[in-house]
Chains A and B, each alone.
Chain A
């Protein structure tokens, strides 16, 4: 199947180095301490952060840092065919773990000992790149909750089909069987916190694809900063500054 046609356009009309359209909104769940919704093309994700709050399970309490917990769930209607088992399956557990480890690395947990921070991510629509959308949404939600972080974590995925590195794969391209590299970075510190890959790639091509994904992350980062800046301006107006 042809994923990049001879003119250089992909299945949805994008160029190989072009990301899908991004849309983010802060404060969608009023009850949460911080929340955000993030859309990458057709992938829609909502993240809600509850914390820092008292640890529910005394045995897990840590005296010198905060406990970070995460749960990833997909709605029944998020995929094309209706899913029956949405919670507790292996993929959800794995992605919950991945998001937790990524966010834990950037939150300044030693500033909030003996407390717990819960990050809940709910996928409303899945069209490839859910992992990245979840991490981006979680970053925004944590920023909305005012939790101190080293830097924003942004994430993007890239792949390699028809001998072309492609940025931000959608579901069709992802299920094509080619490589899928997901990268999460701390942009200002220029450090990689998450790197996952499926399938196999030769080393030099892998470097290209990873570089492409890192560029994608930086683009997401500038978008997120814009959104946060607008949000801050709105808050200032409400406070009458």
Chain B
């Protein structure tokens, strides 16, 4: 994607080996994160996250639906990422589909946990209204407006911020005449339940360039990577998902080392992100 000359490549690699990156950061430092919530008024919750020049918007919409037959006590969550051609000319028409699918699947894996729903960042049981009949379907739609590397981390942060901004309307279930019919549901327009996002994990992508790992790579650094591992860690230090991207092989001990580095970095990132989200929510409330 980014064309670099041999001299530039060596410059970046040498800098990373000396713990000094192109924009002056250390290897394990994130770019400044800027969070804005409530950007899409017609959605139940939304957020816009800028990580350096990477700009993504996430929106959460809740619709009434029927639970799956195999899991009647859980609601459903769908995550869908779209790459806008404004980010990259090659994304026009179908060009961005491959990247979108990859990102959607990586996010679903990180946030939705195992098949039985255990360990999920978003607890599907909290989306249930009436067992076997009615549940909330959460559609999380993300849009990548501008891409400068590290899309997965920015998307994870945006989804976390959007979820903390989400209000699910309160529902009252009117008892249906027979058990087969669709239960009648009264959706309240006034009252909203805030979503509990303390369990939502944050995604940390570690990119391996040469023999060192860096966090939050820009697109120049990403074009040099041999491989990258995206690890999603939640507040309790549990790993909620792991995806390895990139073709080169990695030693298993290297992967375990990356996991421990990711846990260490994720604590700082979680705290920073939480404080940014709180500041954004407060700014929202102060506005008339």
Report A-B touching, CB under 8 Å.
Answer: yes
Q: Chain A: residues with CB nearer than 8 A to chain B?
A: 28-32, 35, 42, 46-48, 50, 71, 73, 75-77, 79-80, 82, 86-88, 118, 120-122, 124-125
Total contacting residues, chain B, CB less than 8 A: 30
Closest chain A residue, CB of each to CB of B85: A120
Partner of A31, one of B41, B57, B88, B92: B88
A30-B53, A82-B61 known; A122+B42 contact, CB < 8 A: no
Query: Beyond A75-B143, A120-B86, is A31–B40 a contact (Cβ under 8 Å)?
Result: no
B-chain residues with CB within 8 Å of residue A29 when the two chains form the complex: 55, 86-87, 145-146
In the bound complex, what is the Cα–Cα distance between A149 and B53 (angstroms)? Answer: 28
Nearest-neighbor residue (CB-CB) of B88 within chain A: A31
C-alpha gap A80/B61 in the complex (Å): 10
Shortest 6 CB-CB contacts between residues of A and residues of B: A48-B86, A77-B59, A76-B141, A120-B85, A29-B146, A122-B84
Q: Which of B141-166 contact A (CB under 8 A)?
A: 141, 143, 145-148
Given A29-B146, A120-B92, A124-B143, does the pair A42, B41 have CB atoms closer than 8 Å?
yes
Interface check B89, CB cutoff 8 A: yes
A90 to chain B, nearest CB (A): 15
Cα(A118)–Cα(B89), bound, Å: 8
Question: Which listed residue, A48, A77, A79, A122, touches B46 by the CB 8 Å rule?
Answer: A77
B residues contacting A by CB (< 8 A) are: 39-43, 46, 53, 55, 57, 59, 61, 63, 80, 82, 84-89, 92-94, 139, 141, 143, 145-148
Please tell me which one of the listed residues A32, A35, A121, A125 contacts residue B40 in the complex, with CB atoms under 8 A apart.
A125
Residues of A within 8 A of B146 (CB): 28-32
Are B141's CB and A47's CB within 8 A?
no
Q: Are B82 and A71 in contact (CB under 8 A)?
A: no
How far apart sit A30 and B149, CA to CA, in the bound complex (Å)?
13
Whether B86 and A32, one on each chain, are in contact in the complex, defined by CB atoms closer than 8 angstroms, is yes
Q: Please name the residue on chain A nearest to B42 by beta carbon.
A: A80
Q: Determine the chain A residues whose CB is within 8 A of the CB of B89 once the complex forms.
A: 50, 118, 120
Name the residue of chain B whose CB is nearest to the CB of A29: B146
Kindly list chain A residues whose C-beta atoms are within 8 Å of the C-beta of B41: 42, 125
- Identify the interface centre among A31, A35, A71, A122: most chain B CB within 10 Å of its CB: A31
> Complex: how many Å from CA A122 to CA B39?
15
Q: Which residue of A lies closest to B81 (CB)?
A: A76
Q: Which residues of A contact B94 (CB under 8 A)?
A: 87
13 more contacts with CB within 8 A, not counting A31-B147, A121-B86, A125-B40, are A29-B55, A29-B87, A29-B146, A71-B93, A75-B57, A82-B139, A87-B93, A87-B94, A118-B92, A120-B85, A120-B86, A124-B40, A125-B42
* Residue numbers in B under 8 Å from A73 (CB-CB): 84-85
Is B53 within 8 A of A122, CB to CB?
no
Contacts of B43 in A (CB 8 A): 77
In the assembled complex, the Cα of A114 lies from the Cα of B227 at a distance in Å of 38
Query: CA A150 – CA B141 in complex, angstroms?
Result: 39
Chain A to chain B contacts (Cβ below 8 Å), 10 pairs: A29-B87, A30-B146, A46-B86, A71-B93, A75-B141, A76-B80, A76-B82, A82-B141, A118-B85, A120-B89
Distance, CA A84 to CA B265, complexed state (A) = 37
Q: Are B82 and A86 in contact (CB under 8 A)?
A: yes
Q: Which residues of B contact A50 (CB under 8 A)?
A: 89
User: Who on chain B is nearest to A86 by CB?
Assistant: B82
Q: When chains A and B are docked, how far (Å) is the Cα of A46 from the Cα of B144?
A: 12
Do the beta carbons of A28 and B85 come within 8 Å of each other?
no
Q: How far is the CA of A121 from the CA of B92 in the complex (A)?
A: 11
